[in-house]
Amino acid sequence: EPGASSCRGGAASRPQLAAGPAAHGRGTGVPVPRPLLLAPQLVAPRLAWARHRPLCAPEHSPLDRPLLASLQGLRTLVLGTRILEEQWHAAWDARYQEAASSFEDRDGKLDALGDEVERELELVGVTAIEDKLQDGVPAAIKTLLTAGIRVWMITGDKMETAVNIAVSCQLVKDPDSIMMLVVDEKQDDPATEADRLLDACMKRTLETYARSSGERVATLDQVPHSWQAEEMAVDGHTLNYILVDEALSSKLALLAAHCSGVVVSRSSPSQKAGVVRLMTAYEMERVTGTRRGLRRWYARYKRRLSGKMLSIGDGANDVAMLQTADVGVGIMGKEGRQATNNSDYAITQFRFLVPLLLVHGNLSYYRIARLIKYSFYKNITFAFVLFYYQFYNGFSGQALVDSITAAVFNVVFTSVPILLFAVLDRPVADLKTYIHYPRLYDKSELHTLTTASFWKTGVAQAVVHAAVCFFIPYYSIATSGRHNITDVYSLGKLAFVALLGTVNLEVALVARYWTVLFAVFVALSYFLVYPYMAIFPLIQLGLDIYDPANVGVSENVLASPTFWFVIIICNLTTFGLRFAERTADWSFKPQDTMIMAEHEEEARKQGKKWLQQNVSAESRLRLSSLGIEIPEEEEDTLRARHSPPRPTAPGAAHPGLPPA
């Protein structure tokens, strides 16, 4: 192994040097990646004693391997000293001033002059500054990646710093094999060079795919969308040439879409936004494919629903990016309030993104999905009860339910349970479960708010339930002696109470977390209708309103056995239909959260918190860096659970247990 290869990675103080032609390929003939040089490596040849020695030969250099290794991920400066003669300096300075004001090849001249000074240096020391990440960033990024979220790092930092940070937060696993998409600033034709680099990276990605899947494909767009392996770094200078060219942009997007980690460095605020726009456009293009017309519109529409882009940043230069993405999250930091002022959500630490997405995001999706479906459901049910009646009254528009009762249906009788549901309900009792199992975030398996589920639960089910709540009362009313309730107002009361029971049972059945508050309001929402029926006509009479739709209707309806039998059978039928369907779902195609709920229940029976039971040491560490402490289990309970009682010395640790 060449000695130099072990020096790759880390921060360099002179990035333009790192952008030179690749010193050595990777054996596959692919010209990337090129090595990153550490500051000490750059400085080493300038040291007085190291003139003719190999860079990293550990036996000769004070900048030896262990030191270099320990500098990985730090911002390093190597300090050297050299004593200059005063006349020499005066002469040099004059030439320097001349070069600094030169119009031709100023950089080259300055570099050459710098070289004259920076040689034969005495090594003074090395400083290393850790550019400290916030707490829990690696754990947070790992959690997000596990959740199926693609994470990109876009920064204004230098490439080496950026890659370093990406390594330390686990976005990039192997800095040695990262694909560098960096065009030399001195290149005459940077666009062609960028194209060449892109092609090389794509070729390498294709080969990796062929190796991993055993299937050889000609172009990258034939690779499955979900397959990602390589990691890539691109810098702002290169992006300058790529983003202005459509062909290059689409190549970059295609390539980046198949990279598991992407680092964009030295990017300007507008480039940050440009990258977000580019990837949004790419995703749209991918799903529409060759579709045209209505199918193209539908594909774009579905994509808009299924995937969102989130930007998170803390600085003023992130503002454009935060505003371009679907969701912008600003971190309140030391860099001012520009980011938070322009964001949708503001948090104080990067790691809080995890609960924001995994807990609040999950819950929000679940609750809004149910809220929407249920709101449609209860209104369509009500409307269809009225609609069915039109077939029997010559489509004259006669309402089955009087207007006051219709108004209170939505406002009083059915609003509170679903609002409480949308505030309190959750599929798992312990919200930490979402962070422990980040995969629960992935909604591709869970059809909670798809078009199909909306039409099924929100509409079709409403039509069926409305039919039950209308036709059973309609055909059940019969002259029954003194309590004959065959008039249109009595039928309305029957259908209304049946309907009310049905929609309240529906919200009770879909609820996955019954709090006392919720239970009380579900019960109240239904049972309040009886006092309402009894008292409302009295109020009307008290106000001298003689309303044939209410006065006297309730007392006759409530006294009729037909009413009670109709209510019972309507609610048994609609509840039974839904209950059977939900149970079948639960038994035969359980959602992940259903299995989790069963698991929780079982743990509760054993008197434990189930996370405590299931968490591994690795997860405990991850959760702990995210600020979630899960208490260790008591040792004796562990022992009691895992092994039959066996004689052990008192106080001796169980041999099978890790140290506490």
Partner 1 sequence: MPSSESDSQPSGSAAQGKKESKWHKRFVQQRLRGWSPILHARNAELYFLAVGVFCLALGIPILVASLNVVEYKARYDLAGVFADLDSNNQQELLWGAGDEGVLVMVEIEVTKRMTAPIYVVYELDSMFQNYRRYVRSFDPDNMHDGLEANKSGVSACEPFTYITGAPDAAFPNQGAILPCGQISQSLFNDTFELSARRRGGAAARELPINSSDIAWASDRDHLYGAVNAENFNTVPALRGGRGVFAPLNQDQHWMVWQRPAAQAQAQKLYGRIDSDLEADMIVTVLVYNRYNTYGFQGAKSLILTTNSWVGGKNVFLGSVYIVIGGLAWLAAASLFITYNLGLFWKRGYGDLSLLSWEAHLQPGDGRLRVQSRNRAGEHRVVPQ
CA-to-CA separations, 331 to 36, 314, 315, 338, 461, in angstroms, rounded: 31, 5, 8, 10, 44
Q: Which of residues 617-636 bind partner 1 (CB under 8 A)?
A: 617-619
Which runs of consecutive H residues, i.e. helices, occur in 169-245? Answer: 190-213, 236-243
**In the complex, minimum distance from the CB of residue 447 to partner 1, in angstroms, rounded to a whole number:** 12
Q: Which of residues 351-390 bind partner 1 (CB under 8 A)?
A: none
- Does residue 21 touch partner 1 according to CB under 8 A? no
Long-range contacts of 400-409 (CB under 8 A, 24+ apart): 400/470, 400/488, 400/491, 400/492, 400/495, 400/496, 401/492, 401/495, 401/496, 402/489, 402/492, 402/547, 402/549, 402/550, 404/536, 404/550, 405/492, 405/496, 406/382, 408/532, 409/382, 409/496, 409/499, 409/500
Question: Which residues contact residue 278 at a Cβ distance below 8 angstroms, ignoring those fewer than 6 apart?
Answer: 243, 249, 252, 253
Long-range contacts of 242-251 (CB under 8 A, 24+ apart): 242/194, 242/198, 243/271, 243/274, 243/275, 243/278, 245/191, 247/195, 248/191, 248/194, 248/195, 248/198, 249/278, 250/282, 250/285, 251/195, 251/198, 251/199, 251/202
Nearer CB in complex with partner 1: 217/568: 568
Distance CA 627, CA 136 (A): 8
Peptide bond into 33 cis (omega under 30): yes
Nearer CB in complex with partner 1: 247/545: 545
* CA angle, residues 392, 397, 401, in degrees to nearest 5: 85
Nearer CB in complex with partner 1: 297/546: 546
Q: Which residues pair with 152 in a beta bridge?
A: 262
- Residues 321, 306: contact at Cβ < 8 Å? no
Stretch that binds partner 1, among 233-241, 287-295, 318-326, 650-658 (CB under 8 A): 650-658
* Of the candidate residues 24, 82, 291, 439, the single one contacting partner 1 (CB under 8 A): 439
Nearer CB in complex with partner 1: 341/486: 486
Q: Return the DSSP state at 348.
A: S
Stretch that binds partner 1, among 159-167, 291-299, 350-358, 567-575 (CB under 8 A): 567-575
Q: Which of residues 43-82 bind partner 1 (CB under 8 A)?
A: none
- Does residue 338 touch partner 1 according to CB under 8 A? no
- Does residue 467 touch partner 1 according to CB under 8 A? no
- Does residue 443 touch partner 1 according to CB under 8 A? no
Strands of 209-282 (E only): list them: 230-235, 259-265
**In the complex, minimum distance from the CB of residue 422 to partner 1, in angstroms, rounded to a whole number:** 12
Distance CA 560, CA 480 (A): 8
- Measured in degrees and rounded to the nearest 5, phi and psi for residue 216 equal -100, 125
Distance CA 393, CA 411 (A): 28
**In the complex, minimum distance from the CB of residue 592 to partner 1, in angstroms, rounded to a whole number:** 5
Nearer CB in complex with partner 1: 168/405: 405
Q: Which of residues 196-235 bind partner 1 (CB under 8 A)?
A: none
Distance CA 525, CA 504 (A): 7
Helix pair 516-527, 529-542: axis angle to 10 deg: 50
**In the complex, minimum distance from the CB of residue 359 to partner 1, in angstroms, rounded to a whole number:** 9
Nearer CB in complex with partner 1: 75/622: 622
Q: Return the DSSP state at 478.
A: -
Distance CA 643, CA 266 (A): 58
What mask of x and - would describe binding to partner 1 in positions 572 to 601, judged by CB under 8 A? xx--x--xx-xxx-xxx-x-x-xx-xxxxx
* Of the candidate residues 472, 497, 623, 626, the single one contacting partner 1 (CB under 8 A): 472
Q: Which of residues 161-200 bind partner 1 (CB under 8 A)?
A: none
Stretch that binds partner 1, among 97-105, 272-280, 342-350, 434-442 (CB under 8 A): 434-442
Stretch that binds partner 1, among 281-289, 378-386, 438-446, 496-504 (CB under 8 A): 438-446
Q: Side chain identity at 453, as an amino acid letter?
A: S
* One-letter-per-residue 3-state SS of 578-592: HHHHHHHHHHHCCCH
Distance CA 83, CA 90 (A): 14
**In the complex, minimum distance from the CB of residue 605 to partner 1, in angstroms, rounded to a whole number:** 10
* The pairing of beta strand 259-265 with beta strand 152-154: parallel
* Of the candidate residues 541, 558, 609, 625, the single one contacting partner 1 (CB under 8 A): 541
Stretch that binds partner 1, among 53-61, 300-308, 473-481, 623-631 (CB under 8 A): 473-481
Distance CA 200, CA 446 (A): 39
Q: Which of residues 487-516 bind partner 1 (CB under 8 A)?
A: 487-491, 511-516
**In the complex, minimum distance from the CB of residue 529 to partner 1, in angstroms, rounded to a whole number:** 19
**In the complex, minimum distance from the CB of residue 361 to partner 1, in angstroms, rounded to a whole number:** 14
Nearer CB in complex with partner 1: 16/348: 348
* Of the candidate residues 338, 484, 612, 625, the single one contacting partner 1 (CB under 8 A): 484
What mask of x and - would describe binding to partner 1 in positions 386 to 415, judged by CB under 8 A? ------xxx-xxxx----------------
Distance CA 441, CA 24 (A): 42
- Does residue 653 touch partner 1 according to CB under 8 A? no
User: End-to-end alpha-carbon separation of the chain, Å?
Assistant: 42
* Of the candidate residues 211, 565, 621, 637, the single one contacting partner 1 (CB under 8 A): 565
DSSP class per residue in 6-17: GG-SS--S-HHH
**In the complex, minimum distance from the CB of residue 433 to partner 1, in angstroms, rounded to a whole number:** 11
**In the complex, minimum distance from the CB of residue 580 to partner 1, in angstroms, rounded to a whole number:** 5
Nearer CB in complex with partner 1: 214/658: 658
Stretch that binds partner 1, among 94-102, 306-314, 368-376, 468-476 (CB under 8 A): 468-476
Size of the site for partner 1 (CB under 8 A): 93
Nearer CB in complex with partner 1: 280/490: 490
Nearer CB in complex with partner 1: 215/442: 442
CB-count burial class (<10 Å; 0-12, 13-18, 19+) for 81: exposed
* Of the candidate residues 70, 337, 548, 648, the single one contacting partner 1 (CB under 8 A): 548
Stretch that binds partner 1, among 78-86, 115-123, 128-136, 640-648 (CB under 8 A): 640-648
* Of the candidate residues 539, 546, 621, 648, the single one contacting partner 1 (CB under 8 A): 546
* Of the candidate residues 168, 311, 504, 560, the single one contacting partner 1 (CB under 8 A): 560
**In the complex, minimum distance from the CB of residue 623 to partner 1, in angstroms, rounded to a whole number:** 12
Nearer CB in complex with partner 1: 96/564: 564
Query: Which residue from 469, 485, 495, 498 is spatially nearest to 553, judged by alpha carbons?
Result: 485
- Residues 377, 468: contact at Cβ < 8 Å? no
What sign results for the dihedral spanned by CA atoms 128, 134, 138, 139? positive
* Of the candidate residues 101, 226, 403, 479, the single one contacting partner 1 (CB under 8 A): 479
